[in-house]
Amino acid sequence: GAGVSQSPSNKVTEKGKDVELRCDPISGHTALYWYRQSLGQGLEFLIYFQGNSAPDKSGLPSDRFSAERTGGSVSTLTIQRTQQEDSAVYLCASSFKRGGYTGELFFGEGSRLTVL
């Protein structure tokens, strides 16, 4: 597709359930990022993938959160045993690194997660 695609756009789940959020980056973009945005707040970094390098997982808030990127393209963010404080919009972005620099980030429309 032309832009970053995220699914589902909206997810309501019960506390304790696992959820998977998917991100399809812009074709050819080598870097992929996950951020979390709580209501009225800024963007909290979660994880960053770059090519075949080991991902930077320094922003994952707990071991209930994990992410993978298959074939250098699609990424899945998994939250196990969801808690109410996990409720937020999860944003995915991709970029094409130019000359080693990060390049412009392009964001998807986000996945809104509500944990009841």
**CA 90/CA 61 separation, integer angstroms:** 13
Residue 36, strand partner residues: 44, 90
Q: Which DSSP symbol is given to 33?
A: E
**CA 106/CA 26 separation, integer angstroms:** 8
Residue from 50, 73, 76, 87 that binds another protein (CB under 8 A)? 50
Q: Is 66 in the site for another protein (CB under 8 A)?
A: no
Q: Which stretch binds another protein (CB under 8 A): 19-27, 55-63, 67-75, 80-88?
A: 55-63
Q: Is 72 in the site for another protein (CB under 8 A)?
A: no
Tell me how far, at minimum, the Cβ of 59 lies from another protein, in Å.
Answer: 7
Q: Is 39 in the site for another protein (CB under 8 A)?
A: no
Is the backbone peptide bond immediately before 25 cis, with ω within 30 degrees of 0? no
Tokens of 34: 């996950």
Measured CA distances, 51 to 16, 80, 100, 106 (Å): 33, 26, 12, 17
Q: Is 104 in the site for another protein (CB under 8 A)?
A: yes
Tell me how far, at minimum, the Cβ of 56 lies from another protein, in Å.
Answer: 6
Q: Is 109 in the site for another protein (CB under 8 A)?
A: yes
Residues engaged in binding another protein (CB under 8 A): 31, 33, 35, 41-43, 45, 48, 50, 56, 58-59, 89, 91, 93, 97, 99-107, 109-110
